Amino acid sequence: MQIKSKLKNAFKKDTYKNVFILFSGFSIAQAIPLLATLVLTRVFTKEQFGIFFIYSSLCMILSTFISLKLELAIVLPNKKDEGRTLFITSLLTSLIISGIVFLVILLLFDPITNILGDKNIGGLLYVLPLSLLFLGIVQACSYWLNRNNNFKDISIINVSKSLTSSIVQISLGLFSFLKFGLIIGLISGQFISAIYGIYSSFKEKITKTKHSSLKRVFDLISRYKKIPIYNTSIAVSNTLSNHLPIFLLTSYYSLEMTALYGLAHRIIATPMGLVSQSVGQVLYNEASKRHNSGVNLKSLIISTYKKLAKLAIIPTIFILAFAPFIFGLLFGQEWKLAGTFTQLLIPWLFFMFLNSPMTYIITILNKQNQLLIYDISLLAFRFLSLFVGYKFFGSITYSILLFSLTGVLFNIFLMVYILKISNTQAIEKD
């Protein structure tokens, strides 16, 4: 009874309740593809996984600018009608830019295919803009629902994406229907989540938005101009640097090595990401409110860092000790090397886990220009680390190790920086 009473009191607090709802949704959404992977690694080849990781990495990188990150501004205005205008603007921007991406692919198809390092990805480029449009819709809807504290529908969006993708992928794999079944499943999940995102967002009475003139739209964009200018560049450079091995390992080594690395990153980064993404969504909401009220953010950040570190330390040690054995047991002995790659990546992923939710603070405190310099530097050093591992050691192990150590050092620097600006930044109301 005492435990039940404590839980009941805890969830009376909106922050804890919202974190729980998002965390539950993200947990289910991330657990589904992880469980599906137990089957997928046995019905799809390493080459097919390699192509899938290249395509999904392209989706992740390009989706960072599909809406020019205008969805981040949806949560910030005090007036709800301004949030609605930014939401609609974000949707329209996603539609326009996905069309531009399609035209670029038509014009530069051969050069793009050559850069990606594998001819098999070529024909899939034509459906890439569709994936980007779906992802842009989901991003905009998620932040609109966040603004309205509708965390339940955000969770449903994520679960529907994962469930649909996994069902389609397993079905196509078991029946050997298509060699691109992994990618078809991914696109199916993106489509379903976008449809539900639109449906749930329109329940929030989007159609009752007051008339928004172009002048009003541009006024809002001007007010939050650092977001499309800096956050888009930050997101592109950061996501590209995180996914850089997917592209370079294909060129330096082989598609099979890309598949092994991709599986290692997916299995470990996915559960870590679900926690940091859940915390990040709620932290952004809570920190925005404190920012608008003139409250110092340092105590909130320190508390969040401590909780995340306590949560991650034991799993991190366990993975360092047993990753190769676990990968061989769960996915088959031919995937055991992915466990070794996981051991090399886990120090970086631990610090990234701590910092991922905190990058929202930089947006709130308008420090995106400094973060852009940080991310461009990180991208350059990560490229250098992978190149040095290949050129001077000729070893994929050294390439991944140097890549991971670079991430550790940069993330430690970022932690110190975030703590500093949260304590000294003068907070200004819009």
Q: Please, are residues 101 and 128 in contact by the beta-carbon 8 Å criterion? A: yes
Q: Does residue 204 sit in the same domain as residue 251?
A: no
Compute the distance between CA of residue 280 and CA of residue 274 in angstroms, rounded to an integer: 10
Q: How many domains does the chain have?
A: 2
Q: Are residues 267 and 330 in the same domain?
A: yes
Give the domain range for residue 83.
14-224
Same domain, 349 and 376: yes
The answer as to whether 330 is a domain residue is yes
Contact 240, 374 (CB under 8 A): no
DSSP result, 1-12: -HHHHHHHHHTT
How confident is the model at residue 110, as a pLDDT? 82
Residues 182 and 308 placed together within one structural domain of the fold: no
The answer on 173 and 56 residing in a single domain is: yes
Distance CA(148)–CA(131), nearest Å, equals: 26
Q: What are phi and psi of 11, to 5 degrees?
A: -85, 0
The Cα–Cα gap between 88 and 356 comes to 27
Any domain includes 1: no
pLDDT the model gives residue 2? 46
Both 52 and 89 in one domain: the answer is yes
Residue 2 lies in a domain: no
pLDDT of residue 97: 94
Q: Do 294 and 153 share a structural domain? A: no
Of 224, 252, 269, which residue is a domain's last? 224
Q: Note the pTM of the prediction, 2 decimals.
A: 0.79
Q: Are residues 219 and 234 in the same domain?
A: no
Identify the pLDDT of residue 11: 42
Helix (H) or strand (E) holding 126: none
What pLDDT does 8 receive? 46
> Residue 333 domain-assigned?
yes
Is residue 7, in this structure, part of any structural domain at all?
Answer: no
pLDDT for 212 equals 60
Start-to-end CA distance of the chain, whole Å, equals 46
C-alpha closest to that of 398 among 242, 245, 239: 245
In this structure, the answer to whether residues 130 and 215 fall within a common structural domain is yes
Q: CB under 8 Å to 269, separation ≥6 — which residues?
A: 349, 352
Q: Are residues 338 and 418 in the same domain?
A: yes
- The answer as to whether 9 is a domain residue is no
Q: What is residue 19's predicted lDDT score, i.e. its pLDDT?
A: 67
pLDDT at residue number 211: 56
DSSP 149: T
How confident is the model at residue 323, as a pLDDT? 92
- The answer to whether residues 83 and 157 belong to one domain is yes
Q: Measure the CA–CA gap between 277 and 62, rounded to whole angstroms.
A: 19
pLDDT of residue 190: 96
- pLDDT tens, position by position, for the chain (430 residues)? 444 444 344 444 566 677 677 778 878 888 898 899 999 998 898 988 998 999 999 999 999 889 888 888 888 887 888 888 889 999 999 999 999 999 999 998 888 877 776 666 767 888 999 999 999 999 999 999 988 888 888 889 999 999 999 999 999 988 766 778 999 999 999 999 999 999 998 875 554 555 566 777 777 777 888 788 777 887 888 888 888 999 899 888 988 999 999 999 988 887 777 677 767 767 877 787 777 777 777 888 888 888 888 888 998 999 999 999 999 999 989 999 999 999 999 999 999 988 888 877 887 887 778 888 888 999 999 999 999 999 999 899 999 999 999 999 999 999 999 888 887 544 444 4
In a domain, 301, yes or no: yes
Final residue of a structural domain among 168, 195, 224: 224
Contact between 84 and 217 (Cβ < 8 Å) = no
| Domain edge (last residue) among 189, 224, 259 | 224
- Look at residue 109 and tell me if it is in a domain: yes
If asked whether residues 202 and 250 sit together in one domain, one would say no
